[in-house]
Amino acid sequence: MPDSEPRPPRTPDARAVSLSVHRFGTTPYVVACAPGRVNIIGEHIDYNGGSVLPMAIDRECAVAVGPAGDGPWQVLSEQAGLEPWQFGTDVAASAVQGITPELPAGDWRRYTLGVIACVLRDIPHGHATPPLRLSIASDVPLGAGLSSSAALEVALARALYAAWGLPWNPLRAAAACRRAEREFAGVPCGVMDQIASAAGSDGHAILIDCVEPVVVRPVRVPTDASFLVINTRVKHALGSTEYPLRAAATAHAAHVLGTQWLCSLTEADVLAYVGVLGHEHSRLALHCVREQSRVLRAVGALERGDLSLLGTLMTESHASLRDDYRVSCAELDAAVEAACAAPGVLGARMTGGGFGGCVIALIRRGSELDAAAAVVQKYTAIVGSTPEIFPVTPSGGAHIVSQ
């Protein structure tokens, strides 16, 4: 017997189109998608002048664009209810100048208006930029450390570029999205998340040298490597946690050490000034310089197919994030412990800003089911709740689904 109600479309792009049709009554003329990302190694050093090794994943945010005519901007998100957010072209113009309406900290509308404003700033004078109707849908978990915010930002930027007839430049768009997150959401992030989402490559991780001018190089992931994401379901919000405090503290440590970027130093440089830096700032600085070394060794391990070394480096990275940078939590530590004890797992670490979210585990291909079952059993015994576990594959970056 057929269902009495049609089943909702499953993919984010189909859901975004469905939102537009059913809520706005119009078929969108552009649909763009951008992926979340998982960071294999290189945490909290993108804003400290380091190199990072993320990969775009096969979970995406989609933005469907339709004309608004002479009306205001209208933005609808499936995760924020069925009433669209409306604002006039005067609000968008004010945002370009850095003047924004009062919105709660961390509100999705801050990210949306920020991207619109930062893209508008980059557009040549006189180019037509009519207001639009935007519908947003995503399967990147919120607050899980998989960069749902960057996926939204980059998908929106990709949609705006296409709707306004602009040539797509992934690095330029990523820079605009980073400015949006820093200025409008108040998160002092580096550029890793936005670049991974904008410039991801199928079957590859991405080595990003985060010092301007940013350099991006794809690094092929061996076919016998597989990755599981373990979502602790402990949500974090980077703008309201200790993340800004870490960014400020490492900037202070760099100033004391007479450099712009901590990751340009060696471990010996930091150890020579422990007495000047103090215990707390020394630990943060040591994480940065050691993590930079781990990233470069991890790239070599991937290129040689040495998954055992890569796994060891990932686990060492987690210990440093837990003990020196202190951005882990009990649930993340339990997930890493459970993963490292599971069959076929070569290493694991927290991924993302920390204080909750996800762990990434490196697994030899073919062991995914056994490893996942073992992780669930052990994690549940330690924490008392069940994690969400799913595989991820290195995927392409932002793209147009239809236009």
Using CA atoms, how far apart are residues 310 and 306, in angstroms rounded to an integer? 7
Distance CA 385, CA 175 (A): 38
Phi, psi of 341, deg, nearest 5: -90, -5
pLDDT score for 207:
98
229: Cα separation from own chain's centroid: 14
Q: So what's the pLDDT on residue 220?
A: 98
Only one residue has tokens 């705006």, namely 160
pLDDT at 348: 98
Quick check: 389 and 376 in contact, CB under 8 A? yes
What is the secondary structure of 43-108 as a DSSP string? Answer: TT-GGGT-EEEEEEEEEEEEEEEEE-TTS-EEEEEGGG-SSPEEE-HHHHHHHHTT------TT-H
C-alpha 162/C-alpha 214 separation (Å) is 24
Nearest CA-CA partner of 184 in 142, 152, 140, 158: 152
pLDDT at 280: 94
- Sequence-ordered alpha helix ranges (H) in 200-265: 243-256
Residue 93 has a CB neighbour count (10 Å cut-off) of 12
Q: What is the reported pLDDT for 18?
A: 94
Cα 350 to Cα 340: distance, rounded to the nearest angstrom = 12
Active site residues: 193
Q: Encoding tokens for residue 71?
A: 């009306």
Amino acid 221: pLDDT? 98
What is the pairing mode between strands 358-364 and 215-220? unpaired
Q: Tokens in use for 296?
A: 């470069």
Q: Tell how far CA 287 is from the center of its chain.
A: 21
The pLDDT score that the predictor gives to residue 5 is: 47
Taking the chain (403 residues) in runs of 10, the rounded mean pLDDT of each run is 51 95 92 97 96 97 92 91 88 91 88 96 91 96 87 98 95 96 88 95 97 94 97 73 86 96 97 94 98 98 98 98 96 98 98 91 96 97 96 97 84
Residue 107, Cβ density class (10 Å: 0-12 exposed, 13-18 middle, ≥19 buried): middle
pLDDT of amino acid 1: 35
Q: CA–CA distance from 311 to each of 76, 146, 297, 347, 363 (Å)?
A: 41, 19, 11, 4, 8
